[in-house]
Structure 1
Amino acid sequence: MHIAYLTPEYPHVLCSTSGGLGTSIKNMAEALVSKGVRVSVILYGQAQDKNLEENGIQFYFIRQKNYSIGGWYLYRKYLEKQVSEIILDKNISLIEAPDWTGITAFMKFNVPLVIRMNGTDAYFCALENRKQKIKNRLFERQAIHDADSIISVSDFTGRKTLEVLNLNRNYEVIPNSISVKNFMPYYNNPKSNRILYFGTLIRKKGVLELASIFNEVVKQNKEAKLILAGRDVVDIFEQVSTLELFKNKLSTEAAKNFEYIGSMNYSMIKREIEKANLVVLPSFAEALPMTWLEAMAMEKALVTSNIGWAPEVMINGVTGFTVNPKNHIAYAERILYLMENLKTASKMGKAARKEVENKFSTRVVVEQNIAFYQQVLENRFK
């Protein structure tokens, strides 16, 4: 079996950018290789054309081409031709692509195409009450409609996506995964009263709500300190820095206890998680967030949102607390409780890692992926 992932991102030095999608593909690609499955990663929209092999994975970088008109269609057909040649040359069994902006709309391959629903633009627009571009909606709907099979990283994401796009398709729920050995607990005492948020600074991640939440925390704990780690982006509604919007919402006292440490690589983020007393992730829009799994694997007490996908990851009161981020006082109360009850926080952190080991570790999820791919291939030839 030879699986190829078609993706715009991957954590590689030659790739211009990578987020949770790229990380989830990397985790699964490496796990599949360890199981003897051949894996290729086809990266589109890149700065250059380049082929290379690393760690048993074959990479194909396909550069972005610009067209004076109709680029949305012409680049897809160009990409279809490039991918088809790789399929034929390397005897690829199956292609998996993401749902984002429907890259595979208007493409046909001579092997099964699996779409993995990590959250379409339509899905996120619905969660954020934003208007979607018509062409993105059309492409995403077409891509999912035409796929041979569908995976969703959470049941909520699958149901919501099909509802928003008015489609009736079956899907298999296979969650994102992490290598738990890469996110080991750190048993030296963390810094007391240190609260960490890590991830992109963007409205949909609940960052602006976090300012109001932290104002409530500082009212009762003058020693509390909030650390923000991640890339700042321009707010989609206000058209200014999200970080500036966040700081403008802080009280005078809270502003003294806040620090922004910028965007960081994996190793630096892990050190920040290690130092944190607890982690806060109050997101409004996710599919199945890698940040949650990483913090859970490191046995950190968590206060997350309680929206949509949350119950598929967190067990409220067991692996941490889930609260509506708009309820600032209730959210702050849970943070304060964990800061004051360190034994409970430690117990929740251990339960969180166990949950990740049992449900979200690559060791478990790779077997689900292999079984799914085998079933798709068997159905192809029935």
Structure 2
Amino acid sequence: MIEVKKMNILHVVRPAEGGMKNHVLSLLKHLDKEKYHFVLCCPDGEEWGSLLSGTGVQVRECPLKGEISPWSDVHSILKLVNMIKSLNIDVVHTHGMKAGLVGRIAGQLVRSSGKIGGGHRPFASPGPYLISTVHNSIYQYALPEYQKRFLSTLQKYLARQTDKFVTVSQALKTEIMAWEGIQEKNIEVIYNGIPVDSFTKKSSPYLKIRLGLNPITPVVGTVARLAPQKGVEFFVQAAFLVSQIIDTVQFLVVGEGPLKKELQRQAERLGLRGKIIFTGHYADVSEIYPLMDVFAVPSLSEGLSITTIEAMAAQRPIVASAAGGIPELISHRQTGFLVPPGDHQALAHGILELLKRPKWSEKLAKAARQKAQAQFTIEQMVRQTDDLYQQIAGGREIAGFQRRYAHA
């Protein structure tokens, strides 16, 4: 009789929205359950459990917070240690800095103890293999230099315990090599992927009216979490400049976040009442992109912008700041228009150029969609992650992580 042994993989994630959440969900939904048994350790277990219902993924809740919280973090580490041992975890795969901190410490504690649950392991290591996916820059935030140095020192220590890093852009790979001293051979770049063909909807005049937009005049919009690193205040400033030249243009801001009220007040001060609409959270953003004649990405910091990939898939003309991994998505004047981060005048110039040259804008948008189809699909992201897991098996006669046993 043949028995198939799956590899046990534990994913660890902090409270997450947007790109990181979609990334983790896509992996857990699409990776082959015949090869792997997945456990997800996360806060908000009920929500994640609902999102992963029917996938076979085991969801375990832990009190992991986004910020440093010593008592909660120690509790999470101890819970993870117990989980790794009791579930015979082969790979701990963390996402983001906070989960990487807690998850890798727990994995290293299990390694140090030399104890792991019974049963076959797919490779001869004394504890779990540790993978850390880096989704965003932690060094581009406006932190005091001593805090950056502290983070760098801590990350360097954890890097020595980590078997493999994944970054979602070349820019992040370069950054962690410089700040954390990680060797290039220990880093894999796996771009975020989206369901590209889900972003082919047509513009709906009825949706425009429902959102408070004029259905026959141009719309310039952005989709973002309303947080400092997304630079939406520069979009509002650019909107003011553009509105001085094209009186009929409208602006749309889609998303929630801590800066929402401040941004609304800023728009009021600039006299943009009735010209700029804040929708808040919108459940299906694939309906939103077709409404936009120009899509703007004013970010100050990005790992790899999911909303930019979505706008590319939706074949929108894009003006974006050249922050983080965005230049890996947008080639200036080929698949979009790049501007310096934090420069609202350059952003306004890019918006105006795309609005005034519709044929050229359409050409850029088509090229952007072709690039999204070629490089930024869920299928490609899943395939590359699967390849990474296969590398871990290290040629120990494991075909796709399934070791077979003959029983009498």
Determine the structure 2 residue equivalent to 1:251. Answer: 270
Determine the structure 2 residue equivalent to 1:263. Answer: 281
1:130 has 2:143 as partner: yes
CA distance in 2, matches of 1:183, 1:50: 24
Where does the alignment leave 5 or more consecutive residues of structure 2 unmatched?
Answer: 1-5, 111-126, 206-214, 399-408
1:100-139 pair list within 5 angstroms: 100-101=97-98, 102-108=101-107, 110-119=127-136, 123-124=137-138, 126-131=139-144, 132=147
CA distance in 2, matches of 1:50, 1:351: 35
Determine the structure 2 residue equivalent to 1:319. Answer: 335
Determine the structure 2 residue equivalent to 1:43. Answer: 41
Quick check: 2:305–2:326 contact (8 Å CA) kept in 1?
A: no
Task: Give 2:277's aligned amino acid.
Answer: E
Worse-superposed segment, 36-45 or 348-357: 36-45
1:164 has 2:184 as partner: no
TM-superposition CA deviations, 1:209-233 (whole Å, max 9, x none): 1122111111110011111111131
Determine the structure 2 residue equivalent to 1:295. Answer: 311
Match of 1:196 among 214, 218, 221: 221
1:274-293 pair list within 5 angstroms: 274-293=290-309
Q: Per-residue deviation at 1:357?
A: 1.1
CA distance in 2, matches of 1:208, 1:59: 40
- Length-normalised TM-score, structure 2: 0.77
- Length-normalised TM-score, structure 1: 0.82
CA distance in 1, matches of 2:49, 2:203: 42
Quick check: 1:192–1:277 contact (8 Å CA) kept in 2?
A: no
Specify the SS of the correspondent of 1:104. Answer: helix
Quick check: 1:32–1:39 contact (8 Å CA) kept in 2?
A: no
Q: Which has the larger Rg?
A: 2
CA distance in 2, matches of 1:69, 1:225: 46
Quick check: 2:152–2:179 contact (8 Å CA) kept in 1?
A: no
- CA pair 245-157 structure 1, distance change in 2 beyond 3 A: farther
Q: Per-residue deviation at 1:273?
A: 1.1
Quick check: 2:305–2:325 contact (8 Å CA) kept in 1?
A: no
Task: Give 1:220's aligned amino acid.
Answer: I
TM-superposition CA deviations, 1:219-278 (whole Å, max 9, x none): 11001111111113159xxxxx44245426x522x344111111121x2x2212121112
1:353-368 pair list within 5 angstroms: 353-368=369-384
Determine the structure 1 residue equivalent to 2:322. Answer: 306
CA distance in 1, matches of 2:377, 2:393: 25
CA RMSD of aligned residues (A): 3.1
- CA pair 251-286 structure 1, distance change in 2 beyond 3 A: same
CA distance in 1, matches of 2:47, 2:270: 50
Quick check: 1:46–1:61 contact (8 Å CA) kept in 2?
A: no
Quick check: 2:104–2:130 contact (8 Å CA) kept in 1?
A: no
Q: Per-residue deviation at 1:116?
A: 0.9
| Identity between Structure 1 and Structure 2 (%) | 19
Specify the SS of the correspondent of 1:164. Answer: helix
1:83 has 2:88 as partner: no
- CA pair 163-352 structure 1, distance change in 2 beyond 3 A: same
Quick check: 1:116–1:150 contact (8 Å CA) kept in 2?
A: yes
Where does the alignment leave 5 or more consecutive residues of structure 1 unmatched?
Answer: 10-15, 236-240
Specify the SS of the correspondent of 2:303. Answer: coil
1:344 has 2:360 as partner: yes
Q: Per-residue deviation at 1:47?
A: 6.0
Higher relative contact order (CA 8 A, sep 6+): 2
Task: Give 1:347's aligned amino acid.
Answer: K
Task: Give 2:228's aligned amino acid.
Answer: R
- CA pair 192-141 structure 1, distance change in 2 beyond 3 A: farther
Q: Per-residue deviation at 1:347?
A: 1.9
